[in-house]
Copies of this chain bind each other. A is one copy, B any other.
Amino acid sequence: MIRIGILGYGNLGRGVELAAAKNEDIELVGLFTRRDPASITPKTEGLPVFSANELKNRADDIDVLVICGGSATDLPTMTPEYVKLFNVVDSFDTHARIPEHFANVDAAAKATDHVGIISTGWDPGLFSLARLYSNCVLTDGCDYTFWGRGVSQGHSDAIRRIEGVIDARQYTVPVQAALDSVRAGDNPELTTREKHTRECYVVAKEGADLAAIEKAIVTMPNYFADYDTTVTFISQEELDRDHKGIPHGGSVIRTGATGDGENKHVIEFSLKLDSNPEFTGSVLIACARAAARLQADGQYGCKTLFDIPPAMLSPLSGEELRAHML
């Protein structure tokens, strides 16, 4: 059994908890939180909840700590810190800071004979694998990544910070014509606006200036200004009823040619997810298994999915995998 701890109990932490229960070789030791442990009710009946401060005493009880923190401020400090005590897995997704994060985790992990698997989930994660494998095979080609239709938490939060907004949900939606063109092998050059649209469902305060809210959204730099954005005002009841899920997904597509260029090929990997955090949590648990095995094999240091033999993610033996999945 691989003994797992979960640090952080938001949407992702709950996703990891649910995924752990689906894997017979995984034993969930407990939840660790920076909040008051008494304020947390785990989904798993009887699962102990501890203060995060308790982790320093649990190095012998936990094989892999799955760190469910945010990429902005939590993970850059937490992952390098906890990898000194445990093998760890995180979902760090601030792309520009991955080299720095990798270096910090690698140094701390190697100094203490641990394994830290970073930046896992589906993007970065499974989508990264799709990009890598397809680039290795189709050396001449173009890469495309489309996201959605799905909820962007960051964009939803940005809308909520606007004066007069009570609640909001933002969907990122790929442009069908762009997808069709890419899948047809046209190798189009696409602007930001041509690839995705943004749909916003907004609950406004009574008497708020709706036109001002709409303008604040559609002109917001980085978040919305470069996209065709639609804003729909709805009631809190409608938002709670129709937009409570956290779906996401998307497609990684590589198109290219072989030989003299006359033979075209399209490689596509796509996901359609009802629950982004539950799916991401499932990827993290598979990586936790690999982390324990890599440590047992003496392969210490920081890893990404690029460095992990796929068989290490599976509970099945090499013989079983060759017989049933090859």
**A residues bordering B, Cβ < 8 Å?**
15, 18-19, 22-23, 95, 98-99, 102, 119, 124, 126, 128-133, 135-140, 183, 185, 245, 258-260, 262-275, 278-279, 281-283, 286, 304-311, 313-314, 318-319, 321-323, 325-326
Contacts and interface: CB of A to CB of B under 8 A. Distances in A.
A182 to B, nearest CB: 12
Given A15-B258, A18-B259, A135-B314, A325 B282 contact: no
State the 9 A-B residue pairs at the shortest beta-carbon distance, nearest first.
A263-B275, A263-B274, A258-B278, A136-B313, A266-B272, A306-B311, A136-B286, A131-B325, A22-B139
A272 B265 contact: yes
| A23, A138, A325 pick with most chain B CB within 10 angstroms | A325
Contacts of A132: 310-311, 313-314, 321, 325
A140 B282 CA distance: 11
A21 to B, nearest CB: 9
Given A306-B322, A306-B326, A326-B304, A282 B135 contact: no
A143 B225 CA distance: 41
A323 B278 CA distance: 27
A283 B98 CA distance: 29
A26 B140 CA distance: 15
Given A18-B259, A326-B119, A326-B124, A274 B264 contact: yes
Given A23-B139, A126-B267, A266-B271, 9 more contacts: A22-B258, A126-B137, A128-B325, A137-B282, A265-B274, A270-B270, A306-B309, A306-B310, A306-B311
Contacts of A275: 258-259, 263, 265
A279 B258 contact: yes
A263 B121 CA distance: 17
A322 B304 contact: yes
29 contacts: A15-B259, A18-B260, A22-B140, A95-B326, A99-B322, A102-B322, A124-B326, A129-B133, A131-B325, A132-B310, A132-B313, A132-B314, A136-B313, A136-B314, A137-B283, A137-B286, A139-B282, A262-B274, A263-B279, A265-B274, A266-B270, A267-B270, A268-B272, A270-B270, A304-B322, A306-B318, A306-B325, A309-B309, A310-B310
| A131, A268, A306, A319 pick with most chain B CB within 10 angstroms | A306
Given A95-B326, A326-B306, A133 B259 contact: no
Nearest to A43: B259
Given A258-B279, A326-B98, A133 B313 contact: yes
A245 B258 CA distance: 14
A292 to B, nearest CB: 14
A255 to B, nearest CB: 9
A144 B266 CA distance: 20
Contacts of A19: 139, 258
B267 A271 contact: yes
A133 B310 contact: yes
